[in-house]
Amino acid sequence: MKNLTLQLSFLLTLLLIGCNSNNPKDIIMKDLNSRFTKFELVEVKEDSANVYKAINTLRSLEVRTSIINVEIIRTLNKIENSTSEKEKHMNYLHVDSIHNSLTELLEKFEKSKYDKTDHCFYVKYLLHKEEQKIPKEEYYYIRPMPNGEYDIIHRPYDWDEFLSEYNYDSLLKEAMKYYGDIYDLELKYKK
């Protein structure tokens, strides 16, 4: 069923691209021309990978991490200012719960590395830098827009390079910022 959905999505994309007399290779070339002055297209082929969903999930995780960290600070402050042990314990349970939910979201994202959720194109090209030709590989997700233009999303083919490009290490550090404080509370209040 999932494979059929991908095939139908691809056919619809090709149909819409064909209606505008643009093919995926032309759209990709246009995008590469807007990004680089000298390059050489080597290969474009149909594929499926986690492109659109991965980038949106990563952006969402950045926002959710900030929101959760604000809530953690607020709750840690409540614990510090509370005189009731029962209230401190309840606040510890709350902070532990929201931190665990963030950890679960991060783990789920990391496991999505091999998901093939989006119909896309594998693109290989050589980027010219002075006398060197540097091989590059990317996934391209092309979505036709109602105005006849295309929403083009690309990410590096290599997952680790993708995470590096989007500063995933910084996101992890931010997500784990209060782990030590929460662990200290766990030792004190976990029953």
CA nearest neighbour of 173 among 15, 66, 95: 66
* More confident site: 101 or 7: 101
pLDDT tens for residues 109-131?
Answer: 999 999 999 999 999 999 999 88
- Which residues, including other chains, have CB under 8 Å from residue 2's CB and lie 6 or more apart? none
Per-residue pLDDT at 53:
92
* Percentage of the residues of the chain whose pLDDT score is greater than 70: 88
Give me the phi and psi of 27, to 5 degrees please: -65, -45
Is 169's pLDDT higher than 90?
A: yes
pTM of the model: 0.75
Number of domains in the chain: 1
pLDDT tens for residues 19-62?
Answer: 344 789 999 999 999 999 899 999 999 999 999 999 999 999 99
Per-residue pLDDT at 44:
95
* Percentage of the residues of the chain whose pLDDT score is greater than 90: 74
Q: Residue 32 is part of which domain span?
A: 2-189
Per-residue pLDDT at 16:
42
Per-residue pLDDT at 184:
87
Question: What is the average pLDDT across 70-90?
Answer: 92
pLDDT tens for residues 6-16?
Answer: 454 544 444 44
Long-range contact list for 105-113, CB < 8 A, 24+ apart?
105/61, 105/64, 106/61, 106/172, 106/175, 109/54, 109/57, 109/58, 109/61, 112/50, 112/53, 112/54, 112/57, 113/50, 113/159
